[in-house]
């Protein structure tokens, strides 16, 4: 089991890995070794709760396909195992982010003193601006 949080875990059969060649510069060895990893995780077919599935499917993440599959490419490291661990950590971060709930905002009103301070400030600013006006000759 791949443990994400205390209450969320994934079965290894739900995550699919494939080895691919890394892009970018390299030497003679780069064309022979497939050290990059493609991680595929089907959200709809997973064992996650329905609420968490909906959160993931409605996230605006470019790694999520229209079919509901998360695809993560990891190629930061030179070894397959490190890239695999990096991809799993990125998947865990994505699931953790989707599992958090925002606190609902409580509507509040400004106090009488705050209203009074705001109006006084506006009056003061108005007086300052009125003094900037051009002075007429006949006043």
Question: How far apart are alpha carbons 133 and 96 in whole angstroms?
Answer: 58
Alpha helix positions (H), 3-111: 50-57, 80-99
CB 73, CB 37: distance < 8 Å: yes
Domain count, the chain: 1
pTM above 0.75, yes or no: no
56 — pLDDT class (breaks 50, 70, 90)? confident
Q: Give the chain's mean pLDDT.
A: 83
- Which residues constitute the domain of residue 86? 2-99
**Residue 51 resides in a domain:** yes
**Residue 111 resides in a domain:** no
Which pairing describes strands 36-42 and 15-20: parallel, antiparallel, or unpaired?
antiparallel
**Residue 56 resides in a domain:** yes
**Residue 20 resides in a domain:** yes
Read off the pLDDT of residues 39-51 as tens digits, 9 standing for 90 and up.
888 888 888 888 8
**Residue 83 resides in a domain:** yes
Return the percentage of the chain with pLDDT > 70, whole number: 89
CATH, residue 60: 3.30.160.20
Would you say residue 60 has pLDDT above 90? Answer: no
**Residue 47 resides in a domain:** yes
106 — pLDDT class (breaks 50, 70, 90)? very high
State the number of CA atoms in the 13 A half-sphere of 59 facing the CB.
Answer: 21
């Amino acid at each position: 089991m791949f443990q994400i949080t205390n209450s969320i875990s994934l079965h290894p059969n739900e995550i699919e890995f494939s080895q691919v060649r890394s892009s970018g510069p390299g030497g003679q060895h780069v064309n022979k070794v497939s050290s990059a990893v493609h991680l595929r995780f089907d959200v709809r077919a997973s064992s996650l709760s329905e609420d968490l599935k909906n959160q993931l499917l409605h996230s605006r993440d470019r790694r999520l396909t229209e079919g509901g599959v998360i695809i993560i490419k990891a190629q930061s490291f030179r070894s397959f195992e490190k890239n695999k661990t990096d991809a799993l950590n990125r998947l865990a971060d994505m699931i953790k982010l989707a599992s958090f709930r925002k606190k609902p905002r409580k509507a509040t009103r400004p106090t009488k003193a705050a209203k009074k301070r705001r109006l006084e400030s506006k009056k003061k600013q108005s007086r300052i601006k009125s003094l900037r006006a051009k002075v007429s000759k006949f006043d």
